[in-house]
């Protein structure tokens, strides 16, 4: 039943040869990988207002355009820089590969850890912001925001498990719908404002913008800049997911970067301009987008359309992480710094383990922070700007070291990017440290230590299992072991007889082992055993504490059995298999527990001999032989 349900929800399995068809074009791929940056318009402006309004009042609306211009300039620098990364590393991996190849291994791990945190936060923040858009339109749902967020994340996981191509078509159209809705809002808002004076969100006429304000300090401006930099968190995703583009993948990824920058410039820049015209105020229960849509369109169809598309685009922003993070994890896993299960493709040719892992981590964050975007934002952007900075320095070192044609211009671009992103990282870290970013500074080293521990484990396993090529020809496959079988039984039945015949066909050294929980309980077994014509010895151990597994383990460790040091002991576990799986719940399944316990024993092999039982009602249905039909010709 589970298999049928999985087939219906996730779709049929795809062969490896179909991988080339499970990639997206620029039209479908750009909104998937750029939706994080595009959707930032729904919360980045809010965060800047939260930083400025309480400190400088209405003077905020003079500073918002200037701060936003700096953020857009930084976006353009990053876009140009990451196009160079795509050129240099078309295999994906983005900042992780750049830092690992051109700096030191440890810097690659720092990038991997930082992006792991950022991608997880991308899902948590985006879904929480999308839920905030829902509760802005329907305040009665505000108490249920955590449940709503978890439900949306679950839907995102299912959608992405269906595969790259299907998820791109499923999630791209809403992104374009949001962009169209925002453009309509911007145009309508500008046209409405051109008729007269600036109208405040409360409906009052704003005549003196300096009324009730104080001078804006550098500290306040930097705090607002740090909050607004959340708008740049999706830039990394395209470089991570280059292999998901159709050929020519490199060219398509670079074009996607151009379209990403243009989309953010229009949507983010336009909403900032409307904010400077209409002066919305930060509100925990109504977003800036909702306030602007209310004053421009009123509470009509257009307002609910804006809220609906905003909710969907914020969910799509989470999809940016689902598109980029599993690929990054797969590359880290291939390098041995993450569990290798994350490098395996699922039945729909996607990295399904990474998708599920990301969804679970995001749900944990939503529960911890109760789906509050304002609480999650301080943790945001620190990780991604750490990755930005190391990627820029890594590319700078690459150009200086290799000196390809035109390297000076490329080095200049990455050098400028390195300086700007380093300054931005310091600003974000300092401004958001007390608000919660200190958590990120603790978690990143812990993740790096975990990655190094995983790598150490894989190296240790590889070293112990390695067989040098020069020794292969000298290896002999003649048996070096004397085999000794131990067959644990509860009674004498058809399954046990079959197991004993099998064991005796392989070696004469066979013992039967039985545990007697209560004194005298094994008398019946002794009588039946004496009727057997066999030289197999029966060993019975009493268990005063009614344990089954421990007496067997103690017997194997003792010198009572007939095996010698160095012999290979095989514990043969007879196991009947019922026709209906649920019927296994009606049995003790002792062999399962014995098998698990024996895995820790050296020179002990565990073998399971299955005995298939038929469904009794079906087995009892014996067809009554029918008499042969008369042959008319013979009768005649």
pLDDT at 11: 62
Chain segment 442-457, per-residue pLDDT in tens = 999 999 999 999 999 9
pTM of the predicted model, to two decimals? Answer: 0.73
Using CA atoms, how far apart are residues 289 and 276, in angstroms rounded to an integer? 13
* Span of 346-350, 443-447, 469-473, 595-599 with lowest mean pLDDT: 346-350
* Least confident residue range of 19-23, 59-63, 514-518: 19-23
Q: Is the pLDDT of residue 230 over 80?
A: no
Q: In whole angstroms, how far apart are CA 334 and each of 93, 169, 339, 341, 523?
A: 11, 29, 9, 9, 58
Quick one: CA dihedral 346, 350, 353, 355, positive or negative?
negative
Q: What is the DSSP string of 205-241?
A: B---TTTT--PPPHHHHHHHHHHHGGGGTTTHHHHHT
pLDDT digits (tens, 9 = 90+) for 65-119: 888 888 888 888 888 888 988 888 888 778 899 999 899 899 999 999 998 988 8
Q: What is the rounded end-to-end Cα distance, in angstroms, of the chain?
A: 58
Instruction: Kindly tell me if the per-residue pLDDT of 629 is higher than 70.
Output: no
pLDDT band at 372 (very low <50, low <70, confident <90, very high): confident
Q: What is the mean pLDDT of residues 456-465?
A: 89
pLDDT tens sequence across 311-335: 778 777 777 788 788 888 998 999 9
Write down all domains in the chain, each with its CATH number in brackets. Answer: 27-457 (1.20.1740.10), 483-619 (3.40.50)
Q: Is the pLDDT of residue 2 over 80?
A: no
- Whole-number Å distance between alpha carbons of 167 and 157: 10
- Taking residues 177-182, report their average pLDDT: 90
pLDDT band at 166 (very low <50, low <70, confident <90, very high): low
Q: State the pLDDT at residue 197.
A: 44
CA 63 to CA 266: how far, in whole Å?
19
Summarised one tens digit per residue, pLDDT across range 289-304 is 888 988 888 888 888 8
pLDDT score of 397 more than 90: yes
| 508: helix, strand or coil | coil
């Amino acid at each position: 039943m589970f298999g049928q349900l999985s087939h219906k929800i996730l779709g049929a399995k795809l062969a490896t040869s179909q991988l080339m068809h499970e990639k997206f074009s620029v039209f479908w791929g750009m909104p998937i990988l750029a939706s994080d940056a595009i959707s930032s318009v729904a919360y980045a402006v809010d965060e800047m207002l939260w930083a400025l309004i309480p400190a400088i009042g209405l003077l905020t609306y003079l500073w918002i355009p200037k701060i936003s211009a700096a953020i857009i300039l930084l976006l353009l620098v990053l876009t140009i820089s990451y196009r160079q990364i795509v050129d240099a590393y078309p295999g994906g991996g983005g900042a992780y590969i750049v830092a690992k190849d051109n700096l030191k291994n440890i810097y690659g791990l720092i990038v991997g850890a930082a992006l792991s945190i950022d991608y997880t936060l991308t899902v948590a923040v985006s879904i929480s912001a999308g839920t905030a858009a829902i509760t802005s339109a329907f305040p009665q749902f505000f108490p249920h925001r955590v449940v709503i967020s978890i439900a949306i994340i679950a839907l995102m996981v299912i959608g992405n498990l269906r595969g790259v191509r299907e998820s791109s078509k499923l999630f791209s159209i809403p992104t374009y719908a949001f962009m169209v809705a925002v453009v309509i809002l911007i145009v309508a808002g500008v046209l409405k404002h051109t008729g007269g004076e600036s109208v405040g969100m409360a409906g009052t006429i704003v005549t003196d913008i300096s009324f009730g304000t104080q001078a804006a300090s550098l500290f306040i401006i930097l705090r607002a800049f740090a909050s607004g930099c959340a708008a740049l968190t999706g830039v990394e995703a395209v470089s991570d997911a280059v292999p998901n583009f159709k050929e020519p993948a490199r060219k398509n990824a670079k074009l996607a970067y151009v379209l990403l920058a243009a989309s953010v410039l229009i949507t983010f820049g336009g909403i900032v301009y409307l904010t400077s015209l209409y002066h919305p105020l930060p509100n925990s229960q109504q977003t800036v987008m909702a306030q602007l849509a209310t004053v421009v369109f009123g509470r009509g169809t257009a307002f609910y359309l804006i809220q609906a598309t905003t909710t969907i685009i914020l969910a799509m922003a989470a999809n940016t992480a689902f598109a980029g993070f599993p690929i990054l994890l797969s590359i880290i896993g291939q390098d041995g710094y993450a569990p290798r299960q994350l490098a395996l493709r699922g039945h729909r040719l996607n990295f399904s383990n990474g998708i599920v892992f990301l969804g679970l981590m995001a749900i944990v964050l939503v529960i911890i922070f109760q789906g509050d975007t304002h609480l999650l934002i301080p943790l945001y952007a620190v990780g991604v700007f750490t990755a930005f900075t190391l990627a820029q320095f890594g590319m700078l070192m690459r150009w200086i070291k290799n000196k390809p044609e035109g390297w000076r211009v490329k080095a200049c671009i990455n050098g400028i990017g390195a300086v700007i992103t380093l300054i931005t990282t310091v600003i974000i870290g300092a401004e958001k440290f007390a608000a919660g970013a200190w958590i990120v500074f603790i978690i990143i080293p812990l993740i790096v230590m975990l990655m190094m521990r995983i790598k150490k484990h894989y190296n240790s396993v590889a070293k112990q299992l390695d067989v040098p090529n020069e020794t292969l020809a000298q290896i002999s496959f003649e048996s070096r072991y004397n085999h000794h079988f131990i067959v644990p039984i509860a009674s004498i039945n058809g399954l046990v007889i079959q197991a004993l015949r099998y064991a005796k066909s392989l070696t004469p050294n066979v013992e039967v082992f039985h545990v007697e929980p209560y004194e005298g309980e094994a008398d019946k077994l002794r009588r039946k055993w004496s009727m057997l014509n066999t030289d197999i010895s029966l060993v019975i151990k009493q268990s005063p504490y009614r344990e089954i597994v421990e007496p067997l383990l103690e017997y194997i460790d003792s010198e009572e059995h007939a095996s010698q040091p160095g012999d290979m002991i095989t514990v043969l576990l007879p196991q009947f298999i019922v026709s209906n799986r649920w019927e296994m719940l009606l049995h003790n399944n002792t062999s399962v527990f014995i098998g698990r316990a024996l895995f820790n024993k050296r020179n002990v092999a565990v073998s399971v001999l299955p005995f298939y039982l038929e469904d009794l009602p079906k087995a009892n249905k014996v067809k009554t032989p029918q008499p042969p039909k008369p042959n008319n010709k013979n009768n005649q």
